[in-house]
Structure formats: structure tokens, C-alpha cells
A and B are shown apart, each in its own frame.
Chain A
Amino acid sequence: MSDLMTAGTVTITGHGGNEIEAYCAYPSDAADQPSVVVLHHMPGYDRATKEIVRTFAAYGYAALMPNLHYRYAPGAKAGDAAAAARDAGGVPDEQCLGDVQGAIDVLRARPESNGRVGVIGYCSGGRQSWVVACSLDVDAAVDCYGGRADPGLAPNLRCPLLGLFGKEDQSPSPEDVAAMAAALDANGKSYEFHSYDGAGHAFFSVDRPMYNLEAAKDGWKRIWAFYGVHLKGE
């Protein structure tokens, strides 16, 4: 690979046929690209999450992050749009699913696509990644410390799941993670959970105090191994 990539904001068709913005990062010179939909955290479609999108492209994945807050303040800065979404009562799951489906459609339609699409989300996006994995046609899902995920959806899980959690997190707490694992076991689902000692919530966030180098480094390795199998076919 040359490490060249194309990155920037594009317009996609999301829930209800609405046009929303999305941040893409596509490798420039690879064929048979696996794809990933990235779901941002509550603070929104921000610089740090765009950096994550570009990281996927650096590893050979076509990545696309829909701005789930776009409707609430088109053209606004990430923080203002996140505040507007909160003021409006938050992003309904149905709307999120429509936006993610729009992103999946864009990724699968690319001539460079190998047809496989994964999803990954952080914080609130982690819970949304779980909802996507239980609702839409994706090939692999990663939930990074998504709190308030409903274990009752476990029977509907459609794809392999990787969960990355901090043992010091209060939501999801270790008890929440155990309850999710029990629900998945009870339903015979394929999953892989890793919970890190000394790590709390948002340990991947390089621009926040919660960043945990050890957990983040191992977490990225787990993601590359997991997507390597399920998206690249390694």
C-alpha cells in the first residue's frame, strides 16, 4: 500500500431519505477493500473521531462515519450539533439505524468494496453498534464501552461481536458486561469480550483524561484481529 487515502466530508442519504453529512476515509490504491461504519460518541462528529476514521483507512479499511447529529444543526460545529441533539431529547435508535443503513449502502456500492461491512462505536456509539448488530445486515460489530445496551436484544444478534470494556467503568459496569455475556451465551451467539484492568470509560480517547495506553494498544490489536478474520477473510 502507498498509504495514500481520500478523506473528507461527503453527503449520504440517511433515515427517512434525509441528506446528512458523513466523514469518509478511503484507501486510495487497494482493491477488495473491507468497510467499517464508525459511530461517534455523545460529544459528536468531532476531530478525535475523524482521526479514528482515518486510522481505519490507514489499515486498509474504507471507513465512513455518519454525523448522527447533523439534522439538529446542519453545518454547525460538532459541539453545537451535539448540544442541539441533546436539547431535542437525543437520537432515536430508529433514526440512527436509518443513517447507518445509508452508510452501509454507500460502502457496499463502492467498486473497491469486497462486500463486507463492519460497524464500530464508542461510548453511546458502542450501544448503537450493539443495536445495529441486532438489527441490520453487517458482517461484524465492535462495541467499545457502550453503556445501557439492552441484553434483551441478544436473540437478534446477526453477526460476530467484539466487546472492549474497562473494569473501572460504571456504565457498562463489569456486572453489565457479565449480564450481556450471559445473554449471548444463553442464545448461542458468537462473541469475544475483553475487559481491561485499570481502565475506565473511553480509554481509546487520546484527547481525554480517560485515555489508557495499555488498554488502547491492546484494544486496537483486538480490533485488527477481529476485523481481519470477519471483514478481510484472513
Chain B
Amino acid sequence: MCTYLTTTAPVAGSAYAGDDWFAVNRAVVYFDHPQDAALDHALCIDVWGTGERVAVELDATSARALAEAILATLDSDEVAALT
């Protein structure tokens, strides 16, 4: 199925696309047919700048592991003291 499920989150920072870094402003998150990953569906993230993007396509389990790793990092006492 095509889920069409798409969520956009504002982000601030930089992304690296192989040639150079660029400023990013939003992340488009969806669970749908991937372009390349050998999966029926993938958790896809496009992190966009102005006309440029970096993209990942992850299986659901690893996407959840990534999300948990991000939150665990941000929620650690050391990081919490810095943010």
C-alpha cells in the first residue's frame, strides 16, 4: 500500500551530502515505499535545505532504534545540562 503518511518537522543545523555541508530547515518523515532499500515499506527521512536534501530509508525496527538513541542521548543528564 501507498501510505501517503507524511509528517514535517522544523529542524535547524547542517547536513552533509558528500560534496559539502548545507544548512537544513525541515525534516520530512514518512513510512512508504522506499526508493532503494529492499523493503516493502520503510521509514524515510528527507532532511531538506534550500533545494538540497539528505535521505535515509530504514526498516521499522532500526528506525525506532534510531529514534530511541536520539532521545536517550538528548535526555542524558550531561546533554540536558547543555540544552
CA distance A210 to B37 in the complex (A): 12
**Contacting pair B2 A80 (CB below 8 A):** no
**Contacting pair B6 A210 (CB below 8 A):** no
Given contacts A83-B53, A209-B39, A210-B40, contact A171 B32 (CB under 8 A): no
**Contacting pair B46 A208 (CB below 8 A):** no
| Interface residues of A, dominant DSSP | loop
**Contacting pair B35 A79 (CB below 8 A):** yes
A interface residue numbers (CB < 8 A to B): 41-44, 46, 73, 78-80, 82-83, 86-87, 90, 123-124, 147-148, 169-172, 200-202, 208-210
For chain B, residues 3 to 23, give those with C-beta under 8 angstroms from any C-beta of chain A: 3-4, 6, 8
- List, in ascending order, chain A residues with CB within 8 A of B60's CB: none
- Choice from B2, B8, B39, B48 contacting A42 with Cβ under 8 Å: B2
**Contacting pair B33 A42 (CB below 8 A):** yes
B55 at interface, CB cutoff 8 A: yes
**Contacting pair B33 A87 (CB below 8 A):** no
- List, in ascending order, chain A residues with CB within 8 A of B26's CB: 87
**Contacting pair A43 B33 (CB below 8 A):** yes
Of the four ranges (under 10, 10 to 19, 20 to 34, 35 or more), the interface on chain B belongs to 20 to 34
Other than the known A87-B26, A171-B1, what 6 A-B pairs have Cβ atoms closer than 8 Å?
A41-B2, A80-B53, A169-B1, A201-B1, A201-B40, A208-B40
Nearest A residue to B53 via CB reads A83
Given contacts A41-B33, A170-B1, A208-B33, contact A86 B55 (CB under 8 A): no
What are 21 pairs between A and B in contact, CB < 8 Å? A41-B2, A43-B33, A43-B35, A73-B51, A79-B55, A82-B35, A86-B6, A86-B28, A87-B8, A87-B26, A87-B28, A87-B48, A123-B2, A123-B33, A124-B2, A172-B1, A201-B1, A201-B2, A202-B40, A208-B33, A209-B38
